[in-house]
Amino acid sequence: MIKKIPVDALIPGMYVSDLNCGWMDHPFLTNAFLVDDEARVAKIRDMGIHEVYIDTGRGLDLPDAPTREEVESSLQARMEAIATAAPKPLARVSLAEEAPRARRLHTEANRIVKNLLTDIRLGAQIELDKVEPMVEAMVDSVFSNPNALLPLAGLKQHDNYTFEHSVSVCALMVAFSRGLALSRELIREIALGALLHDVGKARVPEAILNKPARLTEAEFAKMKNHVVQSIVLLQHTPGVSETALMVAGQHHERHDGTGYPNQLKGEGISLYGQMAAIVDVYDAISSDRVYHKGLAPSDALKKLLEWSEHHFEPKLVHSFIRAIGIYPSGSLVRLASGRLAVVREQNERDLLHPVVQVIFHIGSQCYLPPETIDLARSQDRVVAHEDFAKWKIDPKPWLPA
């Protein structure tokens, strides 16, 4: 049986089945292992981990600890409560009208960031005049209709993760900022910081950056130093605002002070840094990498909600969930009718019932003629998220075009 326990209750003889943190947030060779001594417990605690999952079938038990199923049920209930507190919808253009522009922007933004990182690696300076027009266009697209650009953020190739992640974080930060009703000018500064938040990775050896396995502790330290390198690069770039610097420099800080590079805590982290931390983790844990399978979007949101007890400001996590929906656009879901559907648009007044496009019947194992259904006006409903790979479905043809 899998149970969740506080780290203070972890003792030698227990078997950790999940360290309950991001893959890149710990130096252990594996995420599951037998705790053999107090030194191992101390190392887990020193990493800033507060709770872990144990396998009572492979090690000692903690009788009163909640099971994984109980934790999942509680998180789902909390997610649904957040969804019912959705804010007033914002004006937007139709998905069909915005989708072609979003496709072009996504392709061009990836090209720009890829070239930018290559130039930095060769010793060149950041040229904002090549970046700012793209940032402005991405802000416009998300304001017009976030359901066009955000689903594309989930499309990544293993070898291109570094720059595609930056584009995704930018789009998600704009949607997050829009949901918080920040000013357009401030959102442009936030978006610029988000697009450039990982430029310091151009100073990390490529052998470490693209290593298809667990990093050693020395490699992990060099990887973490990318934040400092990002700060240095942006401080030497005329025209980068303090807001953009806070986004890039604080996206690995954590609310409980366990982040890096400065171990900032609570209100010591700017609003923009706290937002960036949430978005960066969400995109990282929901993306496929060479060494691990990404979580389904709704599962990634549940992890943020779970970790908000320590690492993130809870109200901001709630706002982020409302901004992208508990079943984010572009994700695959299973309906009560036994059909699979791709989420097309959010019903901002009713996040539990998005607009979906039905594409596949589970019972007969066959594709269906695509049908768009507004679940807010249907008796059908979402019962679970699904994995495109599990059903051997290519997501690209089903995203907005």
Half-sphere exposure of 193 (CA within 13 A, CB side): 32
According to the model, what pLDDT value does residue 210 have? Answer: 79
CA of residue 208 relative to chain centroid, distance? 22
d(CA 307, CA 91): 32
User: What's the start-to-end Cα distance of the chain, in Å?
Assistant: 44
- CA triple 109-183-237, angle to 5 deg: 50
- CA triple 219-222-227, angle to 5 deg: 140
d(CA 365, CA 357): 17
| Residues in contact with 284: Cβ distance below 8 Å, sequence separation at least 6, in sequence order | 22, 23, 24, 165
Three-class secondary structure assignment of 112-132: HHHHHHHHHHCCCCCCHHHCH
Neighbouring C-beta atoms of residue 6, cutoff 10 Å: 12
14: left (phi over 0), alpha (psi -120 to 50) or beta: beta
Nearest by Cα to 396 from 26, 107, 203: 107
Which run of H or E residues covers position 160? none
Largest Cα–Cα separation, the chain? 60
Counting as low any pLDDT under 50, the low residues of the chain are none
Do 167 and 114 touch, CB atoms closer than 8 A?
no
d(CA 148, CA 228): 33
d(CA 188, CA 206): 30
According to the model, what pLDDT value does residue 87 have? Answer: 63
Q: What is the 8-class DSSP label of residue 241? A: -
According to the model, what pLDDT value does residue 22 have? Answer: 67
Question: 92-109: per-residue pLDDT in tens?
Answer: 789 999 999 999 999 999
Residues in the chain: 401
The three-state secondary structure class of 343 is strand
DSSP-H helix ranges across 250-327: 271-285, 297-307, 314-324
Question: 21-53: per-residue pLDDT in tens?
Answer: 765 555 566 678 898 888 888 888 888 788 999
Q: Position 74: which residue type?
A: S
Question: 307-316: per-residue pLDDT in tens?
Answer: 998 999 999 9
Neighbouring C-beta atoms of residue 199, cutoff 10 Å: 25
- Could you tell me the pTM of the whole model? 0.90
According to the model, what pLDDT value does residue 89 have? Answer: 64
The three-state secondary structure class of 292 is strand
d(CA 283, CA 153): 8
According to the model, what pLDDT value does residue 287 have? Answer: 87
According to the model, what pLDDT value does residue 50 have? Answer: 87
